[in-house]
C-alpha cells in the first residue's frame, strides 16, 4: 500500500487517475451497460471532443502561458467543416481534413505570435480570440446546419472494427509522442520552467512559444473534426460550453499553470474524469445545470487534494 | 609577459544607453587566447552590461565586437553560442523541474532536431560534472540540488559546448570552495587549449589567484588594463574608485548622537551568516553599503519590519521608560519607523493617483473632520512640504507620473516625513535622481538628523555614503564585514571592504 502511495505521490496526475477509477466504477454501478463493449465506440465518440480540447490546452500551459480560445476554436472548425466546406463540395476527407487542420494551426499560431512577439498577456490575447471565434461561428451558422457528407460519422462510432474516436485521439497522441522524441518537448518544458534559463542557454524561446500555441490549435482542429463527427451538424452555440473545460482537464491532470511541469497523459485522465462526472450525473437523472456545479466542486477539491495529500515530496523539498 | 599575437576577441568603444542612463560610455577590452581576463568595477560601473552585450542579451548602441579580427553582430545568446561565446550569467539559471542532464544540454538542440545522441550527452555531461562536482547525478531534477551544485550545472552547460570564449559573470559567488577550486582547474584546462575566459568576481583573492589580466571599468569607461605581473590590489581599488576624489566636501555638520532608538539584535541574514548587532541612535545617519546582493537590502527590510527572520529589531522609547517594542510590518508606522522602499514603481508609487493623493496616504487621518476628509487641510499640509523640499510640480492634482524621478522621490520622502518618524529608513533614496535634487535631499536629511531623527540610508553609491553618513556598515557575504566611521570612512576604505580586504595600505 505504501508503495502505491509513494508511486502516486510522484505522479502529478495521481488524483485524476484515482478519480477516473472511482468514477468508472460508479458509472458501471449506476448503468451496468457502461461496461458493455458494444457501447464503447459511442462512449469514446462522445469523449473524444473533451479529450482533444484538453490536449489543445496543454502545450500553451506547459510553455508558461494559457490558451482559452481552444474550446471555441474546436466549435469553429466543426462549423467550418459542416456549414462551409461541405456545401462548397470540399467535404470529402482528403480535402477537408488538411484544410481544417491547417486553419486551426494558423489560428493557434496567431495566438502564439500575439503572446510571444506582440507580448500581450496570454489571457488578453486568447480571450480576444475566443470572442472572435464565437462571433465568427455564429455568423457563419446562426442555426444548426445538417452535415451533407456522412463519412465523418464513423469517427464517432466505428470504422471497420476499430472505434473511430481512437483515430482522432490517437492522431493527437501520436503527434505528441513523436514530438517527445524530438528536442521540441524538452525545449517547451524548459521554456515554461524558466524562460530566462532557456533563453540564456540558447533556446529560441519565441519560436517555441509560437509553435506551442500552434500545436494547441492543431489539436483543437482534430477536436473540431471529432465534434463534427459526433454531432453531424454545426452547433455554434456549443462554443461556450467547451471554452474552459479544456483548462479544467489540464489542471485536474496535475499540470502546473506556472508552466514547465505536467503531461499529456495527465490531461487525458483529467478530461476522462470530467467526462465521467457528466455521464454519471446524466445517468443518475441530475439536472444539466447541476453538472457544471459538480465540475466546479471536483476541480477545486481535486487541485486542493493533489496539492496537499498527494505531494509530500514537493513539501519535503522546500524544507 | 611573452609577446602576444592577435587578440581572440576585441570589444572596441562600446556604448550603451538604457533610456537616460548611460551604462557604457566607452568600454574597450581585448581577450587573448589562453588568458583569464578579469573585469573589475563597482556597482553600476557597467560590468554586467558589457557581459550581456558579449553574451548576446543586449545589443550595443555603437562600437565594434571583433572575433579573430572579423566584425561580429550578436543578436541573442544563441547567436553568441554559434561563435563559441558561452556565458554563465550572474543569476543561477536552471530549469528546476528538468533533469540535470536536460539542463546541461538545454539550448544545444534545434527546436526539433537533436544534435547529439543521448549516449554522447550522458558521457560528456558525466565527464564535465565529475570534474566540477566530484560525482554526476544526471537524472535528478535540478531543483533537488544545492545552490552550489545548480551553479555547477549551469557552468557545465557552457563547458560541454567547448567554448572559445567563456564568460563567468559572478559564477563563483554561489559555489562552495571545493567546487570553485575544481572550476579553476577547468578554467586552466580551457585556457591551455587556447580559449579565453572573461572572469567577473567580487572576491579579490579569486581575482588575484586566477587572472592573467585585469581591466577596470568605472562609470561605463575602461580605466586601465594591467597584467598579472604589474597588478596590485591597492592599485586596482584606486582605479575602481578614481584616485582624485579624496576626503571631499562633506555635508556633515558636527552633531552628537543621542539615545538608542532602534536596536537590532542577533539578526541573521542567511544560514550560517554571522549575526548582526547594531544600535541606531537619535540624530545619526548610518549608511548601509556593499556590492549588490550581500545582504544590505534584506537588512534594511528587516529593520523596517517588512521582512522577517532570525533575530529581533526593537524600538526603544525614551519617553516610555526605554520600553522595547519589537518592530513588525503592522506596527512599524505606529512606532515611528518609516521605510522608503527601493523601487519607486511597484513598491511606493500609486501611478494612477495624483501627486497629492500619493503624498497624503499614510497621514490622511490628520485631515479628518468628523467622518469626512478636508481637502483644504490636506492641501495645506502638502504645501508645507512642497516648499520645504522644493518640489517642482504643476498642480498637486496632476498625475504623479508627470513628475521627474527626483521630484517623485521628494513626494515620497514628504509622505513619510509627514508621519514625523523617529527612525527614517531609506533604501537607495537617490537612485535615478539628478545631482541637484540629490544635494537637496542630502540637506533635508542633515536637517532631520540635527533635529534628532535617526536615519539609515542604504546606498549603492560610495560617494553618497561618504558624503552623507556618520558611520557606514559594509556588507559582505550576508553580514557586516566592516564598520567605518570618522577618518576611516572614505571611498578607498569602503571599496576595499566591498572586496573583502582589510585596509592595509594608507592612501595619500
A4 to chain B, minimum CA–CA distance in Å? Answer: 21
Instruction: Tell me whether B99 touches chain A (CB under 8 Å).
Output: no
What is the rounded distance in angstroms from the CA atom of residue A151 to the CA atom of residue B255? 94
Residue B494, classed as helix, strand or coil, is helix
Residues of A with Cβ-Cβ distance to B96 under 8 angstroms: 193-194, 260
Nearby residues of B439 by Cβ (< 8 Å), 6 or more positions away: none
pLDDT, tens digit, 9 for 90 and up, residues B437-489: 788 888 899 999 999 999 999 998 888 898 899 999 999 989 999 999 888 88
Flag if A183 and B114 touch (Cβ within 8 Å): yes
Residues B278 and A22: their CA atoms lie apart, in Å, by 61
Contacts of A261 in chain B (CB under 8 A): 97
CB contact at 8 A, A125 and A106: no
Q: Report the chain B residue with the minimal C-alpha distance to residue A195.
A: B95
Across the interface, whether the CB atoms of A202 and B87 are under 8 A apart is answered: no
Domains of chain A with bracketed CATH: 12-312 (1.10.3470)
| CATH number for the segment(s) B260-498 | 3.40.50.300
DSSP assignment string, B434-488: -HHHHHHHHHHHHHHHHTT-EEEEE-S-HHHHHHH-SEEEEEETTEEEEEEEGGG
B166 to chain A, closest Cα gap in Å: 13
Handedness of CA B53, B54, B59, B64 (dihedral sign): positive
Q: Which ranges in chain B are annotated with CATH 3.40.50.300? A: 9-241, 260-498
Contact criterion met (CB < 8 Å) for B78 and A204? yes
pLDDT in tens, chain A (319 residues): 677 777 777 777 888 899 999 999 999 999 888 888 888 898 999 999 999 999 999 999 999 999 999 999 999 999 999 999 999 988 888 999 999 999 999 999 999 999 999 999 999 999 999 999 999 999 999 888 888 878 888 888 888 788 889 999 999 999 999 999 999 999 999 999 999 999 999 999 999 999 999 999 999 999 999 999 999 988 887 777 777 889 999 999 989 888 998 999 999 999 999 999 988 988 888 887 888 888 888 888 888 877 776 654 443 333 2
Determine the distance in angstroms separating the CA of B51 from the nearest CA of chain A, rounded to an integer. Answer: 12
Q: How far is B156 from chain A (nearest CA, A)?
A: 11
CB within 8 Å: A189 and B81 = no
Residue B354, classified by CB atoms within 10 Å of its CB into exposed (0-12), middle (13-18) or buried (19+), is middle
Measure CB to CB from residue A190 to each of B76, B95, B110 and give the nearest one. Answer: B95
The edge-to-edge listing of strands for the beta sheet with B454-458 is B337-340, B423-427, B454-458, B285-290, B471-476, B479-485
Distance between CA atoms of residues A127 and A68, nearest Å:
6
- Coil, strand, or helix at residue B362? helix
Close Cβ partners of A206 (under 8 Å, ≥ 6 residues apart): A116, A117
> Could you read off the pLDDT of B162-213 as tens digits, one per residue?
999 999 998 887 888 889 999 999 999 999 999 999 999 877 888 889 999 9
- Nearest-Cα distance to chain A for B48, in Å, is 14
**Chain A residues touching chain B at CB-CB below 8 Å:** 179, 182-184, 186-187, 189-190, 193-194, 196-204, 207-208, 211, 260-261, 317
CATH architecture of residue range(s) B9-241: 3-Layer(aba) Sandwich (3.40)
Q: How many other C-beta atoms lie within 10 A of the C-beta of residue A106?
A: 13
Amino acid at each position: 500500500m505504501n508503495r502505491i502511495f509513494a508511486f502516486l505521490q510522484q505522479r502529478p496526475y495521481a488524483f485524476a487517475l484515482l478519480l477516473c477509477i472511482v468514477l468508472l466504477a460508479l458509472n458501471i454501478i449506476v448503468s451496468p451497460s457502461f461496461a458493455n463493449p458494444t457501447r464503447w465506440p459511442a462512449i469514446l465518440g462522445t469523449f473524444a471532443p473533451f479529450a482533444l480540447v484538453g490536449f489543445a490546452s496543454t502545450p500553451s500551459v506547459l510553455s508558461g502561458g494559457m490558451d482559452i480560445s481552444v474550446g471555441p476554436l474546436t466549435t469553429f472548425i466543426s462549423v467550418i467543416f459542416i456549414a462551409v466546406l461541405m456545401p462548397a463540395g470540399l467535404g470529402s476527407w482528403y480535402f477537408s481534413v488538411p484544410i481544417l487542420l491547417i486553419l486551426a494551426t494558423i489560428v493557434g499560431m496567431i495566438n502564439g505570435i500575439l503572446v510571444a512577439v506582440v507580448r500581450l498577456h496570454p489571457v488578453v490575447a486568447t480571450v480576444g480570440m475566443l470572442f472572435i471565434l464565437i462571433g465568427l461561428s455564429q455568423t457563419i451558422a446562426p442555426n444548426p446546419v445538417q452535415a451533407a457528407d456522412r463519412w465523418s460519422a464513423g469517427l464517432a462510432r466505428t470504422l471497420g472494427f476499430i472505434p473511430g474516436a481512437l483515430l482522432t485521439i490517437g492522431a493527437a497522441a501520436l503527434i505528441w509522442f513523436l514530438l517527445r522524441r524530438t528536442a521540441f518537448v524538452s525545449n517547451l518544458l524548459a521554456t515554461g520552467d524558466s524562460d530566462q534559463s532557456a533563453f540564456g542557454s540558447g533556446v529560441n524561446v519565441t519560436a517555441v512559444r509560437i509553435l506551442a500555441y500552434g500545436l494547441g490549435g492543431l489539436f483543437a482542429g482534430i477536436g473540431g473534426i471529432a465534434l463534427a463527427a459526433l454531432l453531424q451538424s454545426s452547433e455554434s452555440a456549443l462554443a461556450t460550453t467547451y471554452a474552459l473545460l479544456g483548462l479544467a482537464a489540464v489542471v485536474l491532470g496535475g499540470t502546473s499553470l506556472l508552466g514547465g511541469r505536467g503531461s499529456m497523459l495527465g490531461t487525458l485522465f483529467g478530461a476522462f474524469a470530467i467526462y465521467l462526472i457528466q455521464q454519471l450525473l446524466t445517468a443518475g437523472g441530475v439536472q444539466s445545470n447541476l453538472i457544471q456545479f459538480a465540475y466546479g466542486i471536483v476541480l477545486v477539491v481535486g487541485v486542493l487534494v493533489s496539492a496537499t495529500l498527494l505531494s509530500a515530496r514537493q513539501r519535503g523539498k522546500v524544507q | 609577459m611573452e609577446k602576444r599575437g592577435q587578440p581572440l576577441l576585441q570589444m572596441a568603444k562600446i556604448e550603451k544607453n538604457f533610456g537616460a542612463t548611460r551604462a557604457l560610455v566607452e568600454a574597450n577590452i581585448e581577450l587573448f587566447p589562453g588568458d583569464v581576463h578579469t573585469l573589475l568595477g563597482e556597482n553600476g560601473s557597467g560590468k554586467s552590461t558589457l557581459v550581456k552585450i558579449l553574451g548576446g542579451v543586449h545589443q550595443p548602441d555603437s562600437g565594434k565586437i571583433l572575433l579573430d579580427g572579423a566584425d561580429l553582430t550578436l543578436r541573442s545568446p544563441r547567436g553568441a553560442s554559434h561563435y563559441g561565446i558561452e556565458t554563465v550569467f550572474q543569476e543561477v539559471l536552471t530549469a528546476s523541474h528538468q533533469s540535470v542532464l536536460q539542463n546541461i544540454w538545454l539550448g544545444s538542440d534545434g527546436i526539433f532536431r537533436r544534435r547529439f545522441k543521448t549516449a554522447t550527452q550522458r558521457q560528456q555531461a558525466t565527464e564535465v560534472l565529475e570534474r566540477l562536482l566530484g560525482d554526476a547525478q544526471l537524472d535528478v531534477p535540478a531543483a533537488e540540488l544545492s545552490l552550489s551544485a545548480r551553479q555547477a550545472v549551469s557552468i557545465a552547460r557552457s563547458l560541454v559546448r567547448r567554448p572559445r570564449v567563456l564568460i563567468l559573470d559572478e559564477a563563483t559567488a554561489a559555489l562552495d570552495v571545493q567546487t570553485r577550486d575544481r572550476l579553476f582547474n577547468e578554467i586552466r584546462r580551457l585556457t591551455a587549449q587556447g580559449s579565453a575566459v572573461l572572469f567577473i568576481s567580487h572576491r579579490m583573492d579569486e581575482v588575484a589567484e586566477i587572472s592573467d589580466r585585469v581591466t577596470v571599468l568605472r562609470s561605463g569607461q575602461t580605466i586601465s588594463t594591467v597584467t598579472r605581473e604589474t597588478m596590485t590590489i591597492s592599485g586596482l581599488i584606486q582605479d575602481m574608485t578614481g584616485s582624485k576624489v579624496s576626503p571631499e566636501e562633506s555635508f556633515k555638520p558636527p552633531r552628537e548622537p543621542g539615545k538608542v532608538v532602534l536596536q537590532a539584535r542577533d539578526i541573521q541574514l542567511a544560514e550560517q551568516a554571522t549575526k548582526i548587532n547594531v544600535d541606531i541612535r537619535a540624530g545619526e545617519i548610518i549608511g548601509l553599503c556593499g556590492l549588490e546582493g550581500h545582504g544590505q537590502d534584506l537588512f534594511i527590510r528587516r529593520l523596517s519590519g517588512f521582512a522577517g527572520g532570525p533575530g529581533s529589531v526593537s524600538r526603544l522609547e525614551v519617553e516610555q521608560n526605554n520600553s522595547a517594542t519589537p518592530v513588525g510590518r503592522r506596527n512599524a508606522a505606529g512606532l515611528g519607523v518609516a521605510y522608503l522602499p527601493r523601487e519607486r514603481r511597484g513598491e511606493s508609487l500609486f501611478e494612477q493617483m495624483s501627486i497629492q493623493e500619493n503624498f497624503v496616504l499614510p497621514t490622511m487621518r490628520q485631515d479628518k473632520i468628523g467622518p469626512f476628509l478636508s481637502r483644504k487641510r490636506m492641501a495645506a499640509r502638502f504645501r508645507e512640504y512642497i516648499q520645504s523640499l522644493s518640489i517642482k510640480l504643476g498642480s498637486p492634482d496632476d498625475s504623479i507620473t508627470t513628475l521627474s524621478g527626483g521630484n517623485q522621490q521628494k513626494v515620497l520622502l514628504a509622505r513619510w516625513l509627514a508621519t514625523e518618524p523617529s527612525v527614517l529608513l531609506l533604501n537607495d533614496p537617490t537612485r535615478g535622481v539628478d545631482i541637484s535634487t540629490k544635494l537637496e535631499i542630502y540637506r533635508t536629511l542633515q536637517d532631520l538628523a540635527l533635529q534628532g531623527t535617526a536615519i539609515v540610508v542604504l546606498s549603492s553609491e560610495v560617494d553618497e555614503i561618504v558624503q552623507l553618513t556618520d558611520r557606514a556598515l559594509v556588507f559582505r557575504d550576508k553580514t557586516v564585514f566592516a564598520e567605518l566611521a570618522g577618518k576611516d570612512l572614505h571611498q578607498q576604505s569602503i571599496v576595499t571592504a566591498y572586496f573583502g580586504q582589510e585596509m592595509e595600505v594608507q592612501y595619500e
